[in-house]
Amino acid sequence: MLYPLSDSLPDNQLGIHYIVIGGKGGPFTFIGLQQADQEFGGLILGYLWQFIFNNAIPSIGSNLPLFGFLALPENLVLSKVCSSVMALVIVGSWQYAGYIMMIYVAAIEAVPGSLYKAAKIDGASEWMKFRSITVPMIAQAFTITMFLTLVNSFKQFDVNYALTAGGPATMFMEKPIFGTELLALNIYRTAFVSNNLAGGQARAVVFFVVLVDITLIQIRINKRKEVEL
Amino acid sequence: MKKYSIYIFEALMLLILAVFLYPFVIVFINSARDAFSVTQYPMRIPANWGQIFINMRSIITDPNIRYGSSFISSILITGLSLMILTLLPAQAGWVLVRTKTRTSQLIFFMFVASMVIPFQIVMFPLITWFRTIYEVTGIKLLRTYTGIILSYLGFGLALSVFMYHGFIKGIPYELEEAATIDGCSRPGVFYRIIFPLLTPTHATICILHGIWIWNDFLLPLLVLGKGNRIQTLPLAVANFAGACVKQGDLILTAILLAMIPVIILFLIAQKKIIKGMVAGSIKG
């Protein structure tokens, strides 16, 4: 349950990071490359990151003595529940960051330049300009990006399927309890793996109600912060 | 002073870019390895770049992944769905805009309302319906092209109608009047005047739906199923990665091969894609 929240945060942080830089206006054409992440399906990215977490990171440990602890099998990222959730968060934010950035860029470009000039005449510093012009003017973009990241993270299925497949599982009362099974995967498993269509549908309806509630609350909170010219 | 700060930001941005691109680099250098060195030294520059072609050939000829046939069926499914998803909603949107009655407003509202429902909620009824249709009428929908294209049509229609509706509202009615006076029939008005004017919207729709359909995994998994004759590229990669005993090198080559068409397309139409995606996010 915590996953969607923790996933939408780093995305927006990256976006904000970009605003700070993009607001200054440098030639950043190569940023477009980051956008490419979005075009690959979550499934392919899931397998790719699985390789990174399982092979590439331990190999740093075995080749550099300073980071030797990374090579130990009990320190594998995907072997513990806590760190596998973090792995899902990393992949999720990596996947959507480019897209979110593009929305912020479009929003920043729409801010009228006369406001910055007026602020400059009044003697505002760069930080003040950013805080009292850029952030309020793109509050609408914040609403959109928060909404998109929240909904997408709740619906996350293919990264979850490919990267962790719900594991690492622990046995409890002779039933496997999956550590990182997200809602969509759980619904899918209930219906098609354990052949309980009715139960899966009931979970889907509950999922829908929860999703609508959370997004409505989020939009209401975000709308309060928007300004209109 | 100001110049220095810009340099610092540029350097920072380059660093972030490097972090972002690093997974691609890992895919690329590890596709050019044999099964032994991929687990041993995944971070080093490969000694023998020729290995990449050997790996590619073993992927393309692999009976599990069937790269060629799944590539073709991916293209078929995406292309046919996109054709229907631009033609039908444009017609629907045009009629909904030009007839100003209560009913047309209600129909449009229902289209928009259906966008709110997430896919997970309708996936079981969809599969059960497909089964029932097969039992009653004998039309095979599960595990066929018809079935999956029909379901993409259903899931993509709402957004398309919504966007076409918004765009057609901006086309002046006088254009159609002038065409009618000159003796153009009603279908002629649509196909000769409205449809060519909609080109930017066609591009946006194709990009938004194209990315989604090409990468989609859950719907093909449900409708086409595992181990089917027809499979899309994501399904093929999933089958391969599930069936093989963790062959790191070959899985990464499969990933690389699945990425290549997308990268080429992205490099060709980068500006349009970014524009379309941003427009879609703000309108949809």
pLDDT in tens, A26-38: 333 344 444 555 5
User: Other C-beta atoms within 10 Å of B132: how many?
Assistant: 11
Which of B6, B218, B252 is facing A24, going by the closest CB pair?
B6
User: DSSP label at A175?
Assistant: E
Q: Please choose, from the candidates B249, B164, B252, B266, the residue with its C-alpha nearest in 3D space to the C-alpha of residue B214.
A: B266
Tell me, rounded to whole angstroms, the distance of Cα B76 from its chain centroid: 12
**SS3 category, A169:** strand
User: Partners of B241 in the beta sheet?
Assistant: none
CA atoms within 13 A on the CB side of B201: 25
CA-CA distance, B157 to B250, in Å (whole number)? 38
Residues in CB range of A198: below 8 A, 6 or more apart: none
User: Partners of A169 in the beta sheet?
Assistant: A178
- What are the distances in angstroms from CA A204 to CA A194, B13, B222, B224? 15, 41, 16, 21
**SS3 category, B83:** helix
User: DSSP label at B46?
Assistant: P
Enter the CATH code of domain A2-225: 1.10.3720.10
CA-CA distance, A184 to A42, in Å (whole number)? 14
Q: B224 touching A, CB under 8 A?
A: no
Q: Which residue, among B116, B275, B281, B282, would best test binding to A if mutated, counting the most A CBs under 10 Å from its CB?
A: B281
pLDDT digit string, tens, across residues B236-253: 888 777 766 566 667 778
Q: Tell me, what amino acid is at B278?
A: V
pLDDT digit string, tens, across residues A115-168: 888 888 888 887 787 778 877 877 777 777 777 777 777 777 777 788 777 666
User: Partners of B252 in the beta sheet?
Assistant: none
User: Partners of A176 in the beta sheet?
Assistant: A171
Q: B242 touching A, CB under 8 A?
A: no
In Å, how far is B32's CA from the nearest CA of chain A? 15
In Å, how far is A172's CA from the nearest CA of chain B? 26
**B35-39, B124-128, B134-138: least confident range:** B35-39
**SS3 category, A229:** coil
The predicted pLDDT at position B102 comes to: 92
Determine, for residues B218 and A158 on separate chains, whether the beta-carbon distance falls below 8 Å. yes
Pick the residue from chain A with its C-alpha nearest to B271: A32
Which of A32, A34, A158 is facing B217, going by the closest CB pair?
A158
Determine, for residues A144 and B117 on separate chains, whether the beta-carbon distance falls below 8 Å. no
What CA dihedral angle connects A109, A110, A115 and A116, to 10 degrees? 0
Percent of chain A at pLDDT exceeding 70: 67
pLDDT over threshold 80, residue B196: yes
The predicted pLDDT at position B31 comes to: 77
Determine, for residues A48 and B23 on separate chains, whether the beta-carbon distance falls below 8 Å. yes
Encoded tokens for B267? 């490099």
User: Other C-beta atoms within 10 Å of B37: how many?
Assistant: 18
Q: Is the peptide bond before A136 cis (omega within 30 degrees of 0)?
A: no
Q: Tell me, what amino acid is at B214?
A: W
Contact B55, B127 (CB under 8 A): no
CA angle at A38 for the pair A34 and A39, rounded to the nearest 5°: 110
pLDDT over threshold 80, residue A11: no
Encoded tokens for B82? 């996109």
In the predicted model, what is the mean pLDDT of residues B46-71?
A: 78
For A22-87, give the DSSP string: HTT----GGGGGGGGGGGS-HHHHHHHHHHIIIIIHHHHHHH-GGGGGGGSGGG-GGGSHHHHHHH
CA-CA distance, B271 to B277, in Å (whole number)? 10
Contact B179, B193 (CB under 8 A): yes
CA-CA distance, B235 to B255, in Å (whole number)? 12
Which of A94, A184, A201 is facing B124, going by the closest CB pair?
A201
Task: Give A-chain residues touching B9 at CB under 8 angstroms.
Answer: 21, 24, 26
The predicted pLDDT at position A173 comes to: 63
Contact B235, B70 (CB under 8 A): yes
Handedness of CA B273, B274, B277, B279 (dihedral sign): negative
Longest C-alpha distance within chain B, in Å?
77
Residue B277: exposure state from Cβ atoms within 10 A (0-12, 13-18, ≥19): buried
CA atoms within 13 A on the CB side of A224: 5
pLDDT digit string, tens, across residues A63-118: 666 666 666 666 677 777 777 777 777 777 777 777 777 777 777 777 788 888 88
The predicted pLDDT at position A26 comes to: 33
Q: B89 touching A, CB under 8 A?
A: no
CA-CA distance, B228 to A158, in Å (whole number)? 19
The predicted pLDDT at position A16 comes to: 41
Percent of chain B at pLDDT exceeding 90: 10
Q: B39 touching A, CB under 8 A?
A: yes
In Å, how far is A174's CA from the nearest CA of chain B? 25
- DSSP H or E run through A211: helix A197-225
pLDDT digit string, tens, across residues B141-160: 888 888 899 999 988 888 89
